[in-house]
Structure 1
């Protein structure tokens, strides 16, 4: 291992005199079979430094070789080489035990601070988590998302494992691509296969009768007077069976197909999460039980399920709803998840501080929570503090595009409820990140800010300049999430 960073700094200064500022991230120092690797910042830009007398080792990476050193960009190709040298930088599955948290990073800058925020808590980070919607808005590829996560793991010297989630995927082409890229978790968005329940009972009967007779016979034989369900306090009568069969049968068939095609015989463990939360239909206990049992009885193994809970999980703000009613609903779902051996997953989990203690308690610490936009909002908080002129431009861009953004995200905010930033002094701007309407506005309009190249360039430049402040903000904010969940 590297004996002295002072001596190494002198060596780098001699070999690469074009750089004025050198800072090593000592936590990243690692010894491989034929050399050493460490991350450093040169004039504010992170690089990989290799130290070796082996040309074979150095040639595995692309970069600038001088003496026994090679300075390398944090590129996709070099990330793949890093994975081969240091297996702990490869994403792995979480499994069905313990807690995990999805830490979506739209900017690709938050991973290092996300890991710092976890501290000693027994929780596994899903660092690489971006939905197709987010990738489209940010013009990123999933390879870049995994790259950023792997480099953050290396930089932090994180050896407790991390996961990469193909988040809310529904197209087979996207699923196949994500599996090929090395995801260790697949969140299957079943929303396109969830059927709308007919308003009239007679219409429900008609739709149910359209199921093959053999299927109806099997369902009625297995679920009416179901002892297993009864032991969980769940009663499935014929009207209930018709409801869940009509709503969920196509989604169940789709989940089975995806499992058989892409996951069952994969060359590595891949967590399989079922998402049935993207709907107006609250997932009742009978529905969760029916979906889980249909999968289990056909040999489909899932790691977690995300039901649609009572209340509202809107973007960027706290839970909206009656806490007592939510706790009752949560307890039922946690009981069913425990029975079938999968974990409960909570989507749109950013900033839901009212329910976090309930989630940790009801699941006994076995849950998955997805967050994403909250880390983006903390970036905007830093920009409001450090570059108010830019923040005002971003805020104006967001306000001008709210109506269109609402076609992609379900939020309550209307433009007339959003504070006018031109009425505020610079010192008051950061407080907008504590205002519900402003948070939602900024949460859902990021894609329009990205589309303006001038705004995007200045945004990244500001965060690069004040990277330590952004890290501090993330450690504090994500740390609040973890401590509230796990105590």
Structure 2
């Protein structure tokens, strides 16, 4: 098949990322976008997801392209290679045709800086200069300066807050610059855009840390189209926001103001699915400088179709997922425990659809075990779950498309700005 509508860069247009772990969600994603003003990141997959599903990166882009062509979709769309940490990961995604590269230098973030004593911070800062991570006299460009932003008083550093920000993020900015150079080296024949993501850290990114991060990226020649901070409280997988919404909104106001001042660039919200309580304020605060990432939602809606059409298959999947939850949950931010999963699995709930698709325990159980289900799991008959799920969805394409249009359409409608 000759593809005539390939992914492109989307720039500073508000965008929405759709994850597709099965390669079958494209028609539903396009149906959800039909009435939306968002640009679609129709191919979005992290290295972690590709590894766990054993798909190839080019298959992710091909599935989105096929959906685009079959729907005769003509609006620009993008392809996000998510959470890239190595040169080899970048190369595979470039070769597959991705256009948006989410660089993840989180392993270089020194999270211990949050609790270091002053003498430890000073010693680590001196090491940054000695090892060439920061230039001699780097503090001069920060101390004594004030940054006026739209929301709240000007931002300024004292010596302690500056040292804490530098020790925490300086190495991460250097790693992001190195990864950016790798992308540029492999994309000499086509445009690309990058996001820098530090959302998978323990502590929330403060406004001063955001300022330091963005300033150092710029000094190193990196101009991201988006930055993903670690927000306050908990952005758990598969459920609504867990935390004080007023506090989140106040924090986001300043992050968005920094994005306008220091870029402009978009604020990228990871684990953005099902954060319904936040969407109206996120839309109001960020405007067009917004990127939302959703990952497992389309997979959960696929399993919802399985439950409705082949309940015995779903029961086998749910039991298998429960037996693999503890080994799969480690790399995801979830509050569900093995004890809660065991209690759910012990007796089949009277309203199974609500329990598995409408409540925290069931949703997070299904969300984090997709790797085991799609690669290792088999029915009692021996048929792999992956094949069985594909068979159900192939027989019920309309139902799957409609389920996605309803679910993701709700996400997008709540993210549209309210009419004056």
Quick one: distance in 1 between partners of 2:149 and 2:67? 48
**In 2, are the aligned partners of 1:360 and 1:366 still within 8 Å (CA)?**
no
Deviations 1:107-138 (A, max 9, x none): 10101110110123211111111111111111
The offset of 1:467, in angstroms, is 1.4
Alpha-carbon distance in 2 for matches of 1:262, 1:221: 31
The alignment's TM-score, normalised by the length of structure 2, stands at 0.91
Q: Distance in 1 between matches of 2:296 and 2:98?
A: 21
Separation (CA, whole Å) in 2 of partners of 1:218 and 1:486: 46
Q: Which residue of structure 2 lines up, in the alignment, with residue 321 of structure 1?
A: 243
Report the TM-score, using the length of structure 1 for normalisation.
0.79
Q: In the alignment, which of 183, 202, 219 is matched to residue 262 of structure 1? A: 183
Residue in structure 2 matched with residue 341 of structure 1 by the alignment: 264
The equivalent position to 2:6 in structure 1, one of 82, 90, 107, is: 90
Q: What SS is found at the alignment partner of 1:212? A: helix
Cα drift, residue 415 of structure 1: 2.5
Select the residue among 205, 209, 226 that pairs with 2:145: 226
Structure 1: tracts of 5 or more residues without a match: 1-77
- In structure 1, the residue corresponding to 2:195 is in which secondary structure? strand
Q: Is the 8 A contact 2:32 2:406 kept in 1?
A: yes
Decide whether the 8 Å contact of 2:58 with 2:97 is kept in 1.
Answer: no
Which residue of 230, 234, 248 maps to 2:169?
248
Q: Structure 1 residue 370: deviation in Å?
A: 0.4
1:168-317 aligned at under 5 Å gives the runs: 168-196=83-111, 197=113, 198-212=115-129, 215=134, 217-228=136-147, 233-263=154-184, 266-317=188-239
3-state secondary structure, aligned to 1:413: coil
For 1:82-481, list aligned pairs within 5 A.
82-83=2-3, 86=4, 89-96=5-12, 98-196=13-111, 197=113, 198-212=115-129, 215=134, 217-228=136-147, 233-263=154-184, 266-339=188-261, 340-418=263-341, 420=344, 423-424=347-348, 428-432=351-355, 433-450=357-374, 451-453=376-378, 454=383, 455-481=385-411
CA distance in 2, matches of 1:400, 1:181: 34
Deviation at 1:406, TM superposition (A): 1.5
Q: Alpha-carbon deviation of 1:260?
A: 2.7
CA-based RMSD? 1.8
For these two proteins, the number of residue pairs brought into alignment is 401
Deviations, residues 38-92 of structure 1 (Å, cap 9, x unaligned): xxxxxxxxxxxxxxxxxxxxxxxxxxxxxxxxxxxxxxxx3xxx22xx2xx2110
Partner of residue 17, structure 1: none
Q: Which moved more, 1:445-454 or 1:354-363?
A: 445-454
Q: State the Cα deviation string for residues 128-150 of structure 1 (Å, max 9, x = none).
A: 11111111111101010000000
Bigger Rg, structure 1 or 2 = 1
Aligned counterparts of 1:227 and 1:134: Cα–Cα separation in 2: 42
Query: What is the rounded CA distance, in whole Å, between the counterparts of 1:93 and 1:251 in structure 2?
Result: 25
Cα distance in 1 between the residues matched to 2:65 and 2:206: 38
Task: Please list the CA deviations of residues 266-323 of structure 1 after superposition, one character each: whole Å capped at 9, or x if unmatched.
Answer: 3222111000111002101111111111122343221000000001011100100001
- Decide which structure has greater strand share: 1
Q: Which has the higher contact order (CA 8 A, sep 6+)?
A: 2
Which whole-Å CA distance do the structure 2 matches of 1:439 and 1:230 have between them?
39
CA contact (8 A) 1:385 1:429 kept: no
CA distance in 1, matches of 2:394, 2:181: 44
CA distance in 1, matches of 2:416, 2:292: 12
**C-alpha separation in 1, matches of 2:329 and 2:180:** 33
Contact 1:356-1:485 within 8 A present in 2 as well:
yes
* Mean CA deviation greater in 119-128 or 338-347: 119-128
Change (3 A) 1:230 1:119: closer
Give unmatched runs, 5+ long, in structure 2: none
- For residue 140 of structure 1, give the secondary structure of its aligned residue in structure 2: coil
* Bigger Cα displacement from structure 2, 415-424 vs 245-254: 415-424
In 1, the alpha carbon distance for the partners of 2:146 and 2:251 equals 22
